[in-house]
Amino acid sequence: MKFLCIPCDRVMEFAERQLPGDGTMAAVFACGGCGREVAMLTNPMETQLVSGLGIKVGGRTVPEQPLETAVSGMKAGRADAFADAPVAAVGVTWSEDAKERLSNVPSFVRGMVKRIYTDWARENGVAQMTPETMDRARTELGLEGM
Amino acid sequence: MRKFRTYGDVAAPEAEKDVVGQVVAQIEKLAARLAPVKRIIVVGSGKGGVGKSVIAANLAAALADRGLRVGAVDADLNGPTLARMLGAARERIRVDNGAAVPPEGVAGIRVMSMDLLLESDTAPLRWRNAGERAPDPATGDPGFTPPEFLFQSTFEAGVLREFLSDVAWGELDALVIDAPPGTDKLVRLLQLLPRLDVVLLVTTPGEASRFVVAKSIRLVQDAGANCIGIVANMTSHVCAACGHETPLFQDDRTAALASDAGVEVWAELPFDVRLATSTDNGRPFVLQDTESAVALGFRRMAERIEGTENGRVEGTENGFISRGGAEGAENGFISRGGAEGAENGT
């Protein structure tokens, strides 16, 4: 899929991705010639289909997690399928609101999601995860549905 | 009508990093993961209920019993049984260095199965339905639930790829893959694999099975495999008391199936109630009664498989039997037909 700026006859470049958290996705593409921007909006089904391919629109920004499609795509998985993996949580705390939001993530995928968020916080110098920083991380990392 | 450039005009390899680049990276990762595996063995059929999983489990056990390092992939995502049969049921997966470390079952066989991820033994595999919209009585919106089949095959193909590429298989002498029933799913699996070293197709002597397996043979041949064997299961009943052998089918057409398709019958396994009973409980029968006729059949298959390595069969003149490993292929994933010089596996 590409977007062509017809007046400039240039292929628009990926600029930004937003994940509102309702299963939809917005990907912004910009023309390097005139600066015009367009937003591609996908519905939840389209977003999920792309997710099933193991592909991230605009490219991957976080290292792939093992068995990512299986774990994030299943409706109900085994909570203790994975042996406890050490989460590099040093220096990162979670607010009560963030903990509550994390608790809404299905238990079998929660460990993986927490690990991704925590790694992002450490890399970005974020000391505490809050719902706001979770939103930021989700958008930056392209964590559809997390 | 306005004239402007179309996708074909603007597509260029350097601009394909978004989607095509990610798909190529997936293929390369899978090929790299399976490169240290000496033999990839697919046990399929196309037909359901012929004993594929029992045969895959016992074959894996027979190979491990010969001292080989063996892995087993349960590609039957909707009816997974291999983890249980190999004594790894409810074992946990570790994550190490960005890869899933598979649990070990009997004889040290490394196992990956959807069984390890499902919440219970009776839980069916279901996928999140992101497009679901709840009814809203206030507006009269009846709601909408998109049918799962719209994305089911996409997710299943993705999970199968992850079972092969995201798992730390390490150096294996043999990776046994238990294919799902259905000729379409068999083909999907074959297309995913970088090499097809040995494909064993399981049949029973009945006509219904024969016709389905005949279709599978053609599909497997089209996929580029030329080391294909037939395993005839439940061919006869051996009396436990006197040893008298009685055919279970009046007209065994296995030999005709093999000769018509130009493939060999690798084994004819008699019906032995202990085979399923023992294997279903996590004790592959081949390790329990090593002198039985069934066990002998598995040991012969294992011995024959050990004679193949890196796509070559010892003693053959033409060498390569699979799509992979061809000279000139950079990453071992080459196009159908084994064209030399394929660069990126697409």
* Mean pLDDT, rounded, of chain B: 84
Inside any domain, residue B67: yes
Q: Say if residue B176's pLDDT is above 50.
A: yes
Q: Are residues A31 and A92 in the same domain?
A: no
Q: Are residues A51 and A16 in the same domain?
A: yes
Supply the pLDDT for residue A87: 46
Inside any domain, residue B327: no
Q: Are residues A143 and A74 in the same domain?
A: yes
Q: Are residues A22 and A85 in the same domain?
A: no
Q: List Cβ neighbours of B33 (8 Å cut-off, separation of 6 or more).
A: B164, B165, B166, B167, B169
Residue among A69, A83, A85 minimizing CB distance to B158: A69
CB contact under 8 A, A45 and B127: no
CATH at B57: 3.40.50.300
CATH at A122: 1.10.8.550
| Between A5 and A24, the higher pLDDT residue | A5
Percent residues over pLDDT 90 in chain A? 16
Mutation site for B-interface testing, chosen from A6, A47, A78, A84 by largest number of B Cβ within 10 Å: A78
Q: Are residues A44 and A104 in the same domain?
A: no
Chain B environment of A2 (Cβ under 8 Å): 7, 10-11, 15
B20 in A contact zone (CB under 8 Å): no
Q: What is the pLDDT of residues B251-296, one digit of tens each?
A: 778 888 999 999 999 999 999 888 988 999 999 999 998 888 899 9
B272 and B291 in contact (C-beta within 8 Å)?
no
Q: What is the pLDDT of residues B188-199, one digit of tens each?
A: 999 999 989 999
Question: Considering Cα of B11, then B15, then B20, then B24, what sign does the dihedral take?
Answer: positive
Q: Are residues A26 and A78 in the same domain?
A: no
Please give the residue range of the domain that contains residue A126. Answer: 67-146
Inside any domain, residue B238: yes
A88 in B contact zone (CB under 8 Å): no
In this prediction the pTM is 0.80
A9 in B contact zone (CB under 8 Å): yes
Q: Are residues A52 and A84 in the same domain?
A: no
User: In terms of C-beta density within 10 A (0-12 exposed, 13-18 middle, 19 or more buried), how is residue B141 classed?
Assistant: exposed
Inside any domain, residue B278: yes
Q: Are residues A75 and A131 in the same domain?
A: yes
Alpha helices of B175-206 — where are they, by DSSP H? 183-192
Q: How far is A34 from chain B (nearest CA, A)?
A: 17
Chain A environment of B93 (Cβ under 8 Å): 67, 81-83
Nearest CA in chain A to B148: A45
Supply the pLDDT for residue B19: 74
